[in-house]
Amino acid sequence: MGEAPMTTTAMLRAFCDAVEQRNGRAFADLFIKDGVYHDVFYGAFAGREKIAAMIDDWFYRTATDFRWDMHDPVTDGTTLYARYTFSYRSTLPEASGARAMFEGVAVMTLKGGRIASYHEVANTAPAFVDLKFAPERIAKIVTRQGAELKARPEMKRHLA
């Protein structure tokens, strides 16, 4: 007999805990073998190996002390939506150790009790202000993120 699927609440807590604990393997195990994580900053990571590396390497390259909480999850068993708050302490020189925080909505496609794809819509601009990014740099990043989001065919029904 296989393992019973995790409850939505348990899966979301494991998701957040894995990021906070820099445990890419535990994070990647929440995804199906060929799952895809579409990160608002870094783009798409396909497959468990790349998803684990995203957490263990990419996330922690310029940040530390992550906090991630999911709120008010709603699911029909196939799609899961959850509002979230996310913060970290930046190690970028211009940030001077500032804590950046932003809110967003996670959109997950589920398959067999695991995540097949993860997408997010996030208001990242306040985090860039927290990090003391120049206004021109913030505008360039936010414009790029908007264009990338609109270009994703799977997101069109969510943006309509």
Render pLDDT for 98-148 as a digit per residue (tens, 0 to 9). Answer: 888 889 999 999 999 999 999 998 887 777 777 776 667 656 655 665 666
The Cβ-side half-sphere exposure at 24, using a 13 Å CA radius, reads 16
Rg (CA), the chain: 16
Q: What are the residue ranges spanned by the domains of the chain?
A: 8-153
> What pLDDT score was predicted for residue 2?
47
Question: Of the ranges 31-45, 89-103, 129-143, which one carries the lowest mean pLDDT score?
Answer: 129-143
> What pLDDT score was predicted for residue 98?
85
Q: Is the pTM here over 0.85, yes or no?
A: no
Closest C-alpha to 21, from 67, 76, 80: 67
* pLDDT higher than threshold 80 for residue 77: yes
Question: Of the ranges 2-6, 31-35, 57-61, which one carries the lowest mean pLDDT score?
Answer: 2-6
Q: Taking all residues of the chain, what is their mean pLDDT, rounded to a whole number?
A: 85
Segment 74-99 mean pLDDT: 90
> What pLDDT score was predicted for residue 158?
47
| Separation of alpha carbons 36 and 126, rounded Å | 26
> What pLDDT score was predicted for residue 42?
86
CATH for the stretch 8-153: 3.10.450.50
